[in-house]
Amino acid sequence: MKIQTLAGLISLALISTPALSAGADDGHSHDELAVGNPGKAAQAKRTIAVSMMETEDGKMLFDPSEITAAQGETIRIVIKNTGEVDHEFVMDGRAENAKHKALMEKFPEMEHDDPNAVRLAPGEEGEIVWTFTKAGEFEFACLIPGHYESGMHGPLTVASK
């Protein structure tokens, strides 16, 4: 069985738990995440370039190491894997990332196609256009097993209007 989305996997794995994201039970589409929604490229007035890499001393990093957005802002995030192993960029709440990370450890082969995430092979580039609809403290991370612990996470702050 191939599970296409994280939401699908979570619903299978955690049927009895309450909704994971704030958007799940408040009348919005279930695709809406606490961190916001996919945005329209035409509305993006700012681009943030993010690199993902390993260092010679065994760390794994994002550059920049933190991201700040304004509530309501649409940003084009261009992500490049300049390292030598696969990496991913996932934006979510810290608790949601921790759950997702635990699932990745349990199901290392899991494939997902979530709008708030991109997985890239070495040398690849991808992008996410995102509208940060809600203010708060979120996180971007690589949830491939071992990478978070090696340094691949950073704060994503959405400042209220």
Residues making contact with Cu ion (CB under 5 A): 87, 142, 144, 147, 152
Using alpha carbons, select from 114, 36, 31, 39 the residue that is nearest to residue 75.
39
Handedness of CA 143, 144, 148, 154 (dihedral sign): negative
Q: Which residues 6+ apart lie within 8 Å of 26 measured at CB? A: none
- Minimum CB separation of residue 12 from Cu ion in Å reads 25
Q: What is the DSSP-derived secondary structure letter of residue 22? A: G
- Minimum CB separation of residue 147 from Cu ion in Å reads 3
Cβ atoms of residues 132 and 71 within 8 Å: yes
Question: Of 75 and 152, which CB lies nearer to Cu ion in the complex structure?
Answer: 152
Q: How many CA atoms lie within 13 A of 63 on its CB side?
A: 11
Token duo for residue 154: 């950073």
DSSP letters for 60-81? EEEESS-EEEETT-EEEEEEEE
- Minimum CB separation of residue 144 from Cu ion in Å reads 5
Question: Of 87 and 99, which CB lies nearer to Cu ion in the complex structure?
Answer: 87
Question: Of 44 and 79, which CB lies nearer to Cu ion in the complex structure?
Answer: 79
- Minimum CB separation of residue 79 from Cu ion in Å reads 11
Question: Of 10 and 117, which CB lies nearer to Cu ion in the complex structure?
Answer: 117
- Minimum CB separation of residue 29 from Cu ion in Å reads 29
Question: Of 152 and 158, which CB lies nearer to Cu ion in the complex structure?
Answer: 152
